[in-house]
Amino acid sequence: GENVEQHPSTLSVQEGDSAVIKCTYSDSASNYFPWYKQELGKRPQLIIDIRSNVGEKKDQRIAVTLNKTAKHFSLHITETQPEDSAVYFCAASRYGNEKLTFGTGTRLTIIP
Amino acid sequence: DTGVSQDPRHKITKRGQNVTFRCDPISEHNRLYWYRQTLGQGPEFLTYFQNEAQLEKSRLLSDRFSAERPKGSFSTLEIQRTEQGDSAMYLCASSLRQGLDGYTFGSGTRLTVV
């Protein structure tokens, strides 16, 4: 089955700096890669996703890049703000296999 | 219908008791998923339904666990003879089109087995 590894497990950055979280996956057939943000005590919320037919996707301060050859994808947050502090999870799945396999999460702390 | 609803939010039960959780997905979503999340970990897949059909079950779902979605709308997850290792957050999610839409998660049911 699919295995998703996520690094780093914790990340602290100064407010205004950029943050990068990286994930690798094992199933070369995976073609859908969402990222979720989970604030303390709250539900995971989808913040951005990418499909394997594109290499990069941006939404305001958030971007995701995908390298299919290397089987890794990354989340980039620019101009970080205190409200970006949360746990971020990457995930992967492939069409025809309904389940998402999640990474172990990255706790991002923005230092004011 | 503003999102995925789960009930109860918290459940404390004694070891050996049975518990049942309910999930109401977004009404037009035909796919419903159950995940389990323990502290410091990502959600782990348990099972999913397309309409009323249960199409996949994880090996994590022992014979003490059963899930139903009788009319293709709400779903229930029952755990029989609970064990302390069952303590976790049980998350329900729904989606409309796999691989094209992300999941919408509910707020979860936090189970504590004492």
- Whether the ω angle into residue B8 lies within 30 degrees of 0, i.e. cis, is yes
CA dihedral defined by B46, A39, A46, A17, rounded to 10 degrees? -140
Enumerate the residues of chain A whose CB falls inside 8 A of the CB of residue B103.
34, 44, 46, 100
Distance CA A24, CA B96 (A): 26
AA identity, residue A91: A
Burial of A50 (0-12, 13-18, 19+ CB in 10 A): buried
**What per-residue confidence (pLDDT) applies to B100?**
61
Pick from B56-60, B64-68, B78-82: least confident = B56-60
Residues 6+ apart with CB under 8 A from B55: A98, B48, B49
CB contacts < 8 A, A to B, total 60
A31 touches chain B (CB under 8 A): yes
Q: Which of B103, B104, B107, B110 to mutate to test the interface with A (most CBs of A within 10 A)?
A: B103
Distance CA B14, CA B79 (A): 12
Enumerate the residues of chain B whose CB falls inside 8 A of the CB of residue A104.
40-42
The Cα of B113 is separated from the nearest Cα of chain A by a number of Å equal to: 19
pLDDT beyond 60 at B103: yes
Distance CA A99, CA B56 (A): 9
**What per-residue confidence (pLDDT) applies to A98?**
72
Query: Minimal CA–CA distance to B88: which of B27, B40, B18, B23?
Result: B40
pLDDT beyond 80 at B9: yes
Closest to A46 (Cβ–Cβ): which among B42, B100, B103? B103
